[in-house]
Structures are given as structure tokens and as C-alpha cells.
Structure 1
Amino acid sequence: MAPSPRRSEEYELLQRTSSDSTQASDLDFGYDVPAWRSGYLRLPAWSRIRTYTYLFCSTRKRRLHCRLICHAFTAIACCTIILVILTALFRPSYTHLPDHYKVLRSICSESSKPGRGNVNNEKVFIAAALYDPGGTLVGGDWGNAVLHLVDLLGPENVHLSVYENDADPSANAALDKLREKLDCNSSLVSEHLPLEDIPRVTIPTGERRMKRIAFLAEVRNRALRPLEANPSAHYDRVLFINDVMFNPIDAIHLLFSTNIDTSGRAQYGAVCAVDFINAFKFYDTFATRDFEGYAMGIPFFPWFTDAGNGISRRDVLDQKDAVRVRACWGGMTAFEAKWFLETHPEGLVSGGPSLDAEAALNVSPLRFRYEEDPFWDASECCLVHADLTYLRHGRNITTHSGIFTNPYVRVAYDSRTLSWLPLTRRTERLYSFVHNTLNHLIGMPYPNPRRLEQPGEEVVEKVWSWDKSGEVTQGGAGTGPEGSYHDVKRVAGPGRFCGGRTLLVLNDDPKPGEKKWVSVPLPAVSR
């Protein structure tokens, strides 16, 4: 029988390889074989086994490394949490009050008798210079704390002086209500401060502007005017209170518990609280200097750097209630009153300045002041401590200046932050290593070329002066003056350690959203 003819679509079947089978199965699922897999499948069996083992083991190693890193981070986090808890419970910072603090706190808390916190019936002049739009401070927690403080001190022992510049109607109403509630001597003044009476400096545009510190010094001095109006009045302490929230019993501790002697009386020229802008951040770095006149470090505990001998930092780490400093403010400061009352107080410390030196430097009686150099600023609150130290000791500062910071007493700029401070202080001993490391990395404290200058010394300082006046048109346009730094020989006054090359001036006409103060850039030094 003759074979049937082959149809054109028929073809001879070929033997299929293992790779053909694999490829066919892949194609059956509707996708192309990746190039790497095609190459891998063409490898001999032993090569494929070795490649698979390498890839599998590498993946396992990577997974193992990831697990180890995760475990390490988890262990570090757990250890940190445990350390924080143990520190807060068993080694808290500035939490366990000294015994005499506890006794005074009990006296204040367990009785309602007026004057119960003032066991020696000391006379206290309380001063405050406020900016209180809407009257929320005087009419709120601040005013209530002041009323409680007056009750603890005894109304017959207190004169309260509050000064406000350009208070709005709500602020004036709050002052009136406070006046009605007070049963002590008081001077609550609201007025328009004539700014034309405050000296001005020339800035690079040629404009004459008011230094921020000159304004603040004038305002604080006006809060002290009742001392001048009644010079026969006697006071033992002067207490300045900023626009801060505070515990009245803490104010009592600041006044009467700090650095007590064997008789139980507080001994200081001045002592400051520690103020916080949030639950961790110290605020008043501009006014604070450590015992050797160095500026502050990063503004969290222990605040001071280890520059020089690191005396202030060591005092903080030793949990002292009287941390030795050269200047401070901290939102609330108590002073020995006699330096504000008398031109030449009796009982000057041996080694203090002569009367001629006092008169030449114009530092007695004690008042707030500002630096007159155009491009050199220092806080009025730092300078007042420098003047006080000079009056008490002259240049004879050895183991202490009589100026202290008391970290047991803490204040804040809002009530919420104040409520957090008892908790956040408990763990702050843990910060010291990180604080010191960051200070060194950043280069703090920042240098001050005049830090070591002593009052009464003849020194040569670089001082900016204008060499050629310019013309100023309306709006500040025109040709600015020309100036340069000159080496000037002069006698140094107290407080050279307070300053730095900067200039803050009053913004005479602030627009919405602008600050009331403007930082003026330092001019280039002309050659």
C-alpha cells in the first residue's frame, strides 16, 4: 500500500532536553524567562549548586546582621529606659531638699498665719518691670503667686513695686484689681516712658537708634524709684521678679534658705533662680556667667561648661544650693538690699574699692546700666552683678563672689512648663556627659576678648567709632557713615566678662509679625 502524502503542516518530532521542558513550562504560564535564570539553568549541575549555596548563605548572613542590629538597638533602648527609671527613682537631681528647706516648707504649708515664711521678719522690697498686654500676667497666675508671696512674707514686711510702660486698658484694669487685693505698701505704676530721654547710638545706615539694653535698664530702674522716694525706709532684701510663673514657697527659699550660716541666716550678695523656656531648656544664658566669667554652654543641665577650672559646673553636679557664679538672673533674683539703698554702705568687705574708685566708676548706689560702646552689648542683669561684686570685693575674688544660682528654685514662662519641672529635673544627672561632649564639639563657651579685664585696670580695647558722618533721608536711605575699630586706651569698668560684639536696637515702628528688637549686623572693619 502506497504511503499517504505528508501534509504541509506536519513536522518530525525531536527529542526534548531538560531545558526545553523547563522553558516550555515557563512559557505555558505566559511569561518570558529572565536572562539571569536562563544563564543559570544552562550551568552544569555542580555550578548551579555552588551558586545557589552562595546566594542562600549571603542572604542568611544579611538577615543575621539585620537581626543583630535590631537586637542591639532594642537592648540599648531597654537599657536607656531602665537607666532613666532608676535615676529618676533613686538618684534624682535637685529633688531631695536640704533639711532646713523642708522645715521652712512645712512651716509655710501647715499654717495660714501671715508672715509664716519670714521667721526673722526681714523687710523685703519686691520689684517687677512687666510687659503685660491684656493683663494676663497680673490678672492671672503671676498676680496670684505674688499675693501668696506677700502673705508668706507678712504684709507689714513688704513693699511691692510694679512698673509697666504703655499698658493697654486691660493691663491697667488688672493693675487696679491687684491694688485692691494688696494689704501691703505698694507702688503700681503705669505710664508712658518718654523714649527721647534714653540715649541712642548711630547704626550703619546713619540712623540714631535706641539700644535694647538701655531701654531695659531704664525700665528696671523705674521699678526701683520708690527706694529713692523714701530713702529713710529700711529693707533687708530686694527681690526682682520677671514675667515668670513661680511657686511662692520657692521664692521664700531663694530669699531665706540659700547658703545659710551657722545661725540659719542666708548669706549672699545676690542669688538667682533657674528659668526655663520649656521643660528642659534653660533660658537666661545672656545674663549668666560662670565663676570665672565664661559664657554658658548648651542650655540644658548642667548648663555650665568645664572651661577653666569648671567651678560652677562642679557645684551643679555636686547638687549645691549655692552654685558660685559671677552673674545670673534666672527670672527671679534676690539681693542684699543695702547696695541699692546707700551710696557708701557700711560694712564694706576688706579689699573693696575706695570711695574715689566708686565715684569714678559710678556704680553706687547699685542700679541697672548698659554698655555705651556702639557695637558691644552686655545684659543689664549681668552688669548689675558685676557692679555688686566690685562694691563688695573690689578685685579680691578668691573662692566666691557672693553671687549664687540656686537650682532648687526653678521658674518658667508659662504654667504648663512650671508643672513639668519637678518631673524633668529627676533625670538630668544623665545629661552631663552628652552636654560636655556637645560643648566641645560646638566650641562653647564662645570667646570674649575682654573677659579677664579687671575694674580699675588700664586696658587697650578695640572700640568702634564713626570716622565720617553720612546723610540720612526719610526712610533711612542715603549715604551711611564710615567707621572702623580703633585701639583705645582706657580704664576698665566692672563687667567686661558680660559682653560681646553685638548690637540690639529698638524697632521704632514694628510691622505685623516683626519683633520689637532688631539685631544690627556688625559693620566691616575699614582698613
Structure 2
Amino acid sequence: MPALYQFDDDYELVNRQSLDTGDDFDLDEADFQSHGRTASLYSPSPSLGARVFGVLVRYLPWPFRRKGYRKLQHQVPKTAGRPSRRTQRACFWMNALLCAISVLVVLTAILNPSYSRPPKHYRELREMISASGEPGRGNPENQRIFVAASLYDLGGHLLGGAWGERVLELLEILGNQNVFLSIYENEGSLDAMTAKVRYEKKVQCKHSIIYDTTFSLAAVPHVTMPDGSRRVKRTAFLAEARNRALEALEDQPAVRYDKILYLNDVLFDPIEAVQLLFATNLDGNGHPSYQAACAVDFINPFKYYDTFATRDEEGYSMGVPFFPWFAGRGKGLSRRDVLQGKDAVRVKSCWGGMVAFDAEPFQGSEPLRFRASKDLFWDASECCLIHADILSKNTTKNQSGIYMNPFVRVAYDQKTLSWLRFTRRLERLYTIPHSIVNRMVGLPWSNARRAEEAGQMVTEQVWVSDDTLDGGGSFQMQEREAGGDGYCGRRGLQLIKQTPRSGEKNWEQMPLPPG
């Protein structure tokens, strides 16, 4: 999913070099306490605390101490070949600061890690799955699960690689007799078709794997542009592709599923997928209680990816995309849940690369399906709008039933996935910098439609087409009936390219008209 705002920087640490000189001065040789001793005529033996502090200063940040000190040698004039006392003090306090940071990092990782100690029932579920090779061992109640995915697998690397193998492992853990697998692929190549045929032979559960070479934009809802042309919104295209992976539900109306697990092209731990399904937000009877439960997806070991689809409990968009993710505007319930380490972080919308749904709203005479916003210059993620539609059917107004589960994490490459077990242990150190950066850049940004309720009459600026104007229309203040999903959107327009060039994205961002 595209992010609400693209953060180009990956927050990578840059290596710094220190310049060496031939005239070195060892601060430790001149500092009595760094050796844990003092002259007998100057003072008595140092206290235990002083000796511990001296050892920490001397040994923990050794590379920083020497390089940082040598760099200062080039910047501060020397007197009689020796650094001044001011330079010595600066080096001492630099050592002390680096020592304190080192200790803080180590203690945080060991004593106060973030989302590294799952609740007891998570551990018991993992142990039960790991201790046995029996099919269906992760689904003792034999719940019926519909696993869906909409893929663009040009080279066949998903079905023919790690993603496909992990899906097969997940199906075996859930029990092939309990699962239906539905995969929809549009466009592709001969390699993708070959991978599809080979993969289908490995699948042992009931399934529908469609490789569609006849997909036409004519079947997707169009919008009329100011110049009179008819185009397809990117979110409308994505909604159509996702819905085609759900068509198998309609092909078997007599079968009732308990859960739907929707997957993106992400790498994941199959046991964590089971935990998302069966361990999130347990009720008093030990059963999962949610309308939707989302994983957390990462584009690198620090950066949360799916900001476009995620909204906090009050409908605010996210802060900068690193822990604790939410900016804490309003009551700050979602941010508070994250900082408290909850497995069910209250949100109004999420996706995170993998989401488990209560299957009931997606079945029956009026089943929910993905959709796009009809407003021309207003974009909203189809993955957020599906949650808005779930909430519109939810009669329990005091709780949305939609949660983000930070214990379950996925990534878009294997390297990132392998790093997540380590980087999550340091996340609590980001809390204060996260708040500072949010204030600096003004996140979350204002959304005039955030607090709108369905059926409410509101007056706001909307695009009105008018062929008599040079721009084909203008933004005007008009009264309209709110749909209750305004928190999902933003002012903007992304369109599918009609004839993309080779190697280009198949969509483009359109500039907004003035006004």
C-alpha cells in the first residue's frame, strides 16, 4: 500500500571517520579516577561508585573515546604540545555521555524491550505447534479459515519462493481440511504461469488459484477528469483485484467460514500468523475477540510501511513511521496502548501486510467488499474503507473491535524480517525522539473530514465539474451528506497509467487543480 506521506529517508546511521595524528595524548594516563586510584597525599581511596564509574568510562565506549578525543585534537589548539584542561573536560564528558548511552541501550534491550515478551498464551501456542508435526496442530477447534491473496508476481518469485513455502506451512499448521486458499494474479509472465502450475500441485487443501491474463480496466469503476477523459483510480483498481480473491466465497455460499486471513506479498512467520488469528485480544472464555486484527509491516528494520491504511482510535493519521508510530493526538489511546505493550492496540483502521477478519460481514446476502472513494480529488485506501464499512455494521459503539497487533511483524524482504527480532528490543528508546519529530513536522496532519459521522450534513470544499471553465471545474463550498469514512482519506488523486512504459510503475500522482 502507498503511504499517506512518503518518507524518503530510511533513517540510516552514517559511519563517521576520525583523523589520527602522530601526537597522541592518552586521557586515561592523566586521569586518576579512570584507573580507580588517586595519589595518597591528595585523597583517600576512591569509593566503590567512583571505581565502577571509572571502569565504565574507561572500557565501554573505548572506540568512541579514542576517536572522539583524537578528532578534538585537530580542532582545539595545543599548548606546549598538550591539550588544554577545557579539551580534557570535553573528552571526559563525551566519554561519560557515550558511556551513559551505551548503558541505557544495553539495559533497555535486556530489561525493558518492546514487544519481545509475548503473553503466556502466545508462548503456549508456539510451543504446541513446535512440539508436534501433526497437521492442524495450531487449530485445535478446527475453525474454518479462508486465506486470500491478490498478487502481482511477474517473475513467479512469490509462488516459487519463500512466500509460497510459508503459505504452505501455514496451511498445514491450520489443517488442510479446515482451509480454503484463494490466490488471484493479474498480469504476469510465462515464469509466473509456470510457478503457478507447479505451486498448485503442492497445495493440499481446497483452493482457487487464478492466473488472469484477460484483466480489463473496463470492469473497474471510472471517474471523469476535468478534461472530460475517463480514468481509473489506483485504489479502485486495487479494490477490484482484492475482491477477485474473495469471489470464491460466493462460489460456495453454503460453506460458512470463521475467519478470513488476507495476505500481501510479505514474508512472515507462519506461527505468528496463527497467533494473529487465534491469540489476539482473548476474551474471558479464551477466544479471540475482534472484527479485524492486523500485523505490523516494515520496509526496513525501523520503518513502518502501511501508513496510508492505518488510522488511530480517533481517526488520526500516523506520526513519523517508527515506534511508537502514533502521534498521540486527542486522547492518544492508540499510542498509549503501544507504549503499554498491548497485543490489541485499538485503532480505527489498519492493514500491516496481513490482516485477520471475522468472516461474518463478508458472507451472506449483502457481503462487504473492497471499494474506492467516489470523490474525484479525494483519495482513501481501499484497505481503510473496508474497516469503515465494518464499523458501519458494528452495533457496539463503545469499541471498534479493530486492533493492530505489534507482536506479529512482517517484512518485504528476508533481511528486514531477520533484523526485527533485534531492533524491537530497542524501540522504547525512540519514544521521546518520535514526539519531538512529530512536533517539528506537524504530524498528524489535519483532515477536515476526520470526525464526520455517517448521515451528518456538512459543508466543505468539493470539486464541481463545469465544462465552461478552462480547468473543467473548480473547488466550491457545498453541503453534502457525510459517509462516515472521511478519516480514511486525503486530498489527492492517484490514477492507473493507461500505457505504462517497461520498468515504470503502473500508476501516477496527478496534480491538484488550484483553488
> TM-score band, normalised by the shorter chain?
0.7 to 0.9
Distance 1:443 1:59 in 2: 51
1:447 matched to 2:468? The reply is no
Distance 1:136 1:409 in 2: 24
Match of 2:234 in 1: 212
| Displacement of 1:168 | 1.1
Counterpart of 1:366 (choices 330, 349, 368) is 368
Which AA in structure 2 matches 1:372? K
Cα shift readout 1:130-179 (whole Å, capped 9, x = no counterpart): 01111101111100000000001000100000001012111111111111
Match of 1:270 in 2: 292
1:87 matched to 2:108? The reply is yes
| Displacement of 1:468 | 1.2
Match of 2:487 in 1: 497
Distance 2:303 2:424 in 1: 11
Counterpart of 2:345 (choices 323, 337, 346) is 323
Q: Secondary structure at the match of 1:500?
A: strand
| Displacement of 1:509 | 1.9
Greater shift, 508-517 or 316-325, is seen at 508-517
Q: Secondary structure at the match of 1:452?
A: coil
Cα shift readout 1:16-50 (whole Å, capped 9, x = no counterpart): xxxxxxxxxxxxxxxxxxxxxxxxxxxxxxxxxxx
| Displacement of 1:58 | 8.6
Counterpart of 1:302 (choices 314, 324, 328) is 324
Match of 1:397 in 2: 397
Greater shift, 279-288 or 432-441, is seen at 432-441
Distance 2:492 2:211 in 1: 31
Distance 1:72 1:174 in 2: 60
Distance 1:418 1:506 in 2: 31
Q: Which has the larger radius of gyration?
A: 1
Structure 1 residues 66 and 216, CA gap change in structure 2 (3 angstroms): same
Match of 2:87 in 1: 66
Contact 2:181 2:207 in 1 (8 A): yes
Distance 1:233 1:461 in 2: 45
Identity %: 50
Cα shift readout 1:378-424 (whole Å, capped 9, x = no counterpart): 0000000011011013xx532x2100000000000011111111011
1:416 matched to 2:415? The reply is yes
Structure 1: runs of 5+ lacking an equivalent: 1-55, 344-363, 471-479
Contact 1:240 1:332 in 2 (8 A): yes
| Displacement of 1:81 | 1.7
Distance 1:205 1:328 in 2: 35
Which AA in structure 2 matches 1:256? F
1:379 matched to 2:378? The reply is no
Match of 2:167 in 1: 146
Q: Secondary structure at the match of 1:231?
A: coil
Q: Secondary structure at the match of 1:134?
A: coil
Match of 1:429 in 2: 428
Distance 2:430 2:136 in 1: 39
Contact 1:378 1:500 in 2 (8 A): yes
Distance 1:227 1:441 in 2: 47
Distance 2:80 2:295 in 1: 59
Structure 1 residues 469 and 338, CA gap change in structure 2 (3 angstroms): farther
Which AA in structure 2 matches 1:456? G
Match of 1:43 in 2: none
Match of 1:27 in 2: none
Match of 2:32 in 1: none
Distance 1:100 1:469 in 2: 65
Distance 1:70 1:469 in 2: 72
Q: Secondary structure at the match of 1:409?
A: strand
Cα shift readout 1:209-243 (whole Å, capped 9, x = no counterpart): 21000000000000000011111111000000000
Match of 2:53 in 1: none
How many residues are matched?
438
| Displacement of 1:205 | 5.2
Counterpart of 1:101 (choices 122, 133, 141) is 122
Structure 1 residues 509 and 103, CA gap change in structure 2 (3 angstroms): same
Counterpart of 1:187 (choices 189, 208, 224) is 208
Match of 1:15 in 2: none
Match of 2:35 in 1: none
Contact 1:383 1:494 in 2 (8 A): no
Q: Secondary structure at the match of 1:188?
A: strand
Distance 1:67 1:177 in 2: 68
Which AA in structure 1 matches 2:437? L
1:239 matched to 2:238? The reply is no
Distance 1:250 1:151 in 2: 14
1:293 matched to 2:320? The reply is no
| Displacement of 1:78 | 2.2
| Displacement of 1:512 | 4.3
Distance 1:469 1:238 in 2: 49
Counterpart of 1:157 (choices 166, 178, 181) is 178
Contact 1:203 1:520 in 2 (8 A): no
Contact 1:126 1:158 in 2 (8 A): yes
Match of 1:284 in 2: 306
Distance 2:82 2:438 in 1: 40
Structure 1 residues 207 and 63, CA gap change in structure 2 (3 angstroms): farther
Match of 1:516 in 2: 506
Which AA in structure 2 matches 1:492? A
Contact 1:206 1:469 in 2 (8 A): no
Counterpart of 1:172 (choices 193, 196, 219) is 193
| Displacement of 1:63 | 3.5
Distance 1:183 1:216 in 2: 28
Contact 2:226 2:465 in 1 (8 A): no
Cα shift readout 1:280-319 (whole Å, capped 9, x = no counterpart): 1000000000000000000000000110000000000000
| Displacement of 1:88 | 0.7
Q: Secondary structure at the match of 1:329?
A: coil
Which AA in structure 2 matches 1:105? R
Distance 1:61 1:497 in 2: 63
Contact 2:139 2:173 in 1 (8 A): yes
Contact 1:273 1:331 in 2 (8 A): yes
1:76 matched to 2:105? The reply is no
Cα shift readout 1:322-348 (whole Å, capped 9, x = no counterpart): 0000000000000000100023xxxxx
Distance 1:494 1:226 in 2: 29
Distance 1:75 1:397 in 2: 53
Q: Secondary structure at the match of 1:514?
A: coil
Distance 1:328 1:499 in 2: 13
Which AA in structure 1 matches 2:86? H
TM (norm. structure 2) is 0.82
Structure 1 residues 71 and 232, CA gap change in structure 2 (3 angstroms): same
Q: Secondary structure at the match of 2:451?
A: coil
Match of 2:158 in 1: 137
Distance 1:317 1:183 in 2: 41
Structure 1 residues 414 and 469, CA gap change in structure 2 (3 angstroms): farther
Q: Secondary structure at the match of 1:252?
A: helix
Which AA in structure 2 matches 1:208? R
Which AA in structure 1 matches 2:479? K
Match of 1:46 in 2: none
